[in-house]
Amino acid sequence: MQEFDLRGRAALVTGSSMGIGYALARGLSRAGARIVLNGRNADRLDAAAAALRDTGAEVAVLPFDVTDAEEAAAAVDRYERDEGPLDILVNNAGMQHRTPLEDFPVEAFDRLMRTNVNSAFYVGQAVARHMIPRGQGRIVNIASVQAQLARPGIAPYTASKGAIVNLTKGMATDWARHGLNVNAIAPGYFDTPLNAALVADPDFCAWLEKRTPAGRWGRVEELVGACVFLTSDAASFVNGHVLYVDGGITASL
Per annotation, catalytic residue among 22, 157, 189, 244: 157
Neighbouring-strand partners of residue 137: 180
Please say if 157 is a catalytic residue.
yes
The three-state (H, E, C) secondary structure of the chain, written as one string: CHHHCCCCCEEEECCCCCHHHHHHHHHHHHCCCEEEECCCCHHHHHHHHHHHHCCCCCEEECCCCCCCHHHHHHHHHHHHHHCCCCCEEEECCCCCCCCCHHHCCHHHHHHHHHHHHHHHHHHHHHHHHHHHHHCCEEEEEECCHHHCCCCCCCHHHHHHHHHHHHHHHHHHHHHHHHCEEEEEEEECCECCHHHHHHHCCHHHHHHHHHHCCCCCCECHHHHHHHHHHHHCHHHCCCCCCEEEECCCHHHCC
Q: Which of 162, 154, 157, 122 is nearest to 139 (CA)?
A: 122
Pairing of strands 59-61, 10-13: unpaired
Just list the catalytic residues. 157
